[in-house]
Structure 1
Amino acid sequence: MYAIVEIGGKQYKVEKDHFIYVYRLEGAEGSAVTFDNVLLLADNNQYQVGAPSVAGASVSGKILEHLKDDKVTAFKKKRRKGFRKTVGFRQSLTKVLITSLN
């Protein structure tokens, strides 16, 4: 059984007892979260497709930790002018354990 859930503007395929990394969520480590925007529920050969979401469906999870992603570096340069600029960025993420698909 799996579900397609929209979290923070992105869609994730989730299954019970699997981990997902999403953009940082509000909440302390160890707290429970519920995602109500379920776009699809699949169980063996039975599919429930929402328009836009499946009524009454939700996905529950537990926040395990808050962390940062790998650094992405942007570099700008203009030839013959001596202009160089380097900018780095690390996205804040949350690791979530999926506990149940309702």
Structure 2
Amino acid sequence: MYAVVKTGGKQYRVSAGEKLKVEQIPADVGAQITLDQVLMVGEGESVKIGAPLVAGAKVTATVVSHGRHDKVKIFKMRRRKHYQKHQGHRQNYTELKIEAISA
């Protein structure tokens, strides 16, 4: 069984037992959270698509850890103008372990 959930402005295809890095969620490590914005639930050939959400569907997950992704380097330059700008960014994330999907 799998589901497509929306969290942090992005959509993820998840199934029970897998780990997933999403945008930072304010929850303690080890806490049980519920992702209730489920866009689609599928099992084998049967697929249930919401309009926009599947009614009564939810995904439960456990917070495994918090962290920061690798640094993304931003470099801007205009040739012959003596203009260079260096910038970096590290995005925070929350790692989740998907426990169960209920439709």
Is 1:92 equivalent to 2:95 in the alignment?
no
Q: Counterpart in 2 of 1:55?
A: 55
CA separation in 2, counterparts of 1:13 and 1:79?
43
Q: Counterpart in 1 of 2:4?
A: 4
The Cα of 1:78 is off from its aligned counterpart by 2.9
- How many residues are aligned here? 102
One-letter amino acid matched to 2:63: I
Is 1:29 equivalent to 2:29 in the alignment?
yes
Q: Percent identity?
A: 38
In the superposition, the TM-score normalised over structure 1's length comes to 0.94
For residues 32-75 of structure 1, give each alpha carbon's deviation from its aligned partner in whole angstroms, at most 9, with x where no partner exists. Answer: 11000101111111111101010000000000000111111011
Deviates more, 1:22-31 or 1:70-79: 70-79
Is 1:70 equivalent to 2:70 in the alignment?
yes
The Cα of 1:90 is off from its aligned counterpart by 0.5
CA separation in 1, counterparts of 2:74 and 2:43?
43
In the superposition, the TM-score normalised over structure 2's length comes to 0.94
